[in-house]
């Protein structure tokens, strides 16, 4: 579903990504972790071409994202993305947040879009908030709306960039629960997160990045059992004992 092949990226002379290669198969859940600044966000933003890269190739569902002929809006509409800071549109009601792209991108009728949006809102337990604005919801609620907004596009896969790291601790679980449920339904997911409990529960593979490179790419049990690299061992020791 997502094939990342020898991707390298530079900001000027600074290399952010070094020869990254990995695959995410259909219905697979891959967790990406690593120290701050290691390039995790950059890598997943390359997947839906929010960031360009200079070398290598990324193929999503058979479409090469770096190909200048690729219709990027169309590709992105199929790839859901959830951000650390939610990024709901503050001037729109929750309903409008859920429907705007369905209407403008997929060309659905307003009724159809509202219907779909409200169903998903119900699924993340927030049906009662439909008429409110993002600023009137808690962080955890906003993030659940953001997930529903992405799902409303019927994505073929989902990208998460530290979806819980901007949340107060008591709200982390309500968001993780939604993600776990998605994973169980067979959604293809690439999640940047340091929630190792989530990784243990649903991940198939864990990728560990450091200084722009994929240092470790292992099945979950292997990763938690005995990471091969010393850097991954140190990293795990640090975050697990917190």
Ligand X SMILES: Nc1ncnc2c1ncn2[C@@H]1O[C@H](COP(=O)(O)OP(=O)(O)OP(=O)(O)O)[C@@H](O)[C@H]1O
| Binding positions for ligand X, rule: CB under 6 A | 11, 14, 16, 34, 36-42
Q: Does 208 bind other proteins (CB under 8 A)?
A: no
Q: Shortest approach of ligand X to residue 4 CB, angstroms?
A: 14
Residue from the set 29, 118, 150, 176 that interacts with other proteins by CB under 8 A:
150
Q: Shortest approach of other proteins to residue 145 CB, angstroms?
A: 12
CA–CA dist 178, 148 (Å, integer): 10
CA–CA dist 156, 150 (Å, integer): 11
CA–CA dist 240, 242 (Å, integer): 5
β-strand 213-219 against 205-210: which pairing, if any?
antiparallel
Q: Does 106 bind other proteins (CB under 8 A)?
A: yes
Residue from the set 18, 61, 84, 233 that interacts with other proteins by CB under 8 A:
84
Q: Does 41 bind Mg ion (CB under 5 A)?
A: yes
200-203: Cβ within 8 A, 24+ apart: 200/224, 202/29, 203/29, 203/30, 203/31
**153-to-40, 116, 137, 149, 226 alpha-carbon distances in Å:** 24, 9, 22, 7, 39
What one-character DSSP code corresponds to residue 73? H
- Residue 54 burial (CB < 10 Å; 0-12/13-18/19+)? exposed
Q: Does 138 bind other proteins (CB under 8 A)?
A: no
Q: Shortest approach of other proteins to residue 101 CB, angstroms?
A: 4
Nearest CB to ligand X, comparing residues 39 and 163 = 39
Beta-carbon contacts of 2 under 8 Å, excluding residues fewer than 6 positions away, are: 23, 24, 47, 58, 59, 60, 157, 188, 190
Q: Shortest approach of other proteins to residue 73 CB, angstroms?
A: 5
- Comparing every residue's Cβ against Mg ion, the nearest one is 41
Nearest CB to ligand X, comparing residues 96 and 217 = 217
CA–CA dist 180, 131 (Å, integer): 27
Residue from the set 135, 169, 230, 241 that interacts with other proteins by CB under 8 A:
135
Nearest CB to other proteins, comparing residues 81 and 215 = 81
Residue 193 contact among Mg ion, other proteins, ligand X, none, beta carbon within 5 to 8 Å by kind: none
Contact residues for other proteins (CB under 8 A)? 41, 45, 48, 50, 72-74, 76-81, 83-85, 87-91, 100-101, 104-106, 132-137, 149-150, 153, 161
Contact residues for Mg ion (CB under 5 A)? 41
């Amino acid at each position: 579903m997502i094939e990342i092949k020898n991707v390298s990226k530079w900001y000027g002379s600074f290399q952010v990504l070094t020869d990254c290669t990995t695959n995410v198969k259909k219905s697979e859940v891959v967790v990406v972790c690593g120290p701050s600044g290691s390039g995790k966000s950059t890598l997943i933003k390359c997947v839906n071409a929010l960031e360009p890269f200079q070398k290598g190739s990324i193929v999503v569902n058979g479409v090469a994202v770096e190909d200048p002929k690729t219709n990027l809006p169309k590709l992105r509409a199929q790839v859901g993305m959830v951000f650390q800071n939610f990024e709901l549109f503050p001037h729109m009601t929750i309903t409008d947040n859920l429907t705007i792209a369905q209407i403008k991108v997929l060309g659905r009728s307003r009724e159809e879009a509202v219907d779909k949006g409200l169903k998903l809102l119900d699924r993340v337990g927030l049906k009662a908030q439909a008429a409110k604005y993002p600023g009137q919801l808690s962080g955890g609620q906003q993030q659940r709306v953001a997930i529903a907004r992405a799902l409303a596009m019927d994505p073929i896969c989902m990208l998460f960039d530290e979806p819980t790291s901007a949340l107060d601790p008591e709200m982390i679980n309500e968001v993780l629960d939604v993600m776990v449920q998605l994973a169980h339904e067979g959604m293809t997911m690439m999640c940047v997160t340091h929630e190792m409990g989530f990784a243990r529960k649903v991940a198939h593979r864990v990728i560990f990045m450091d200084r722009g490179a994929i240092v470790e790419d292992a099945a979950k049990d292997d990763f938690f059992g005995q990471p091969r690299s010393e850097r991954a061992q140190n990293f795990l020791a640090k975050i697990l004992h917190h």
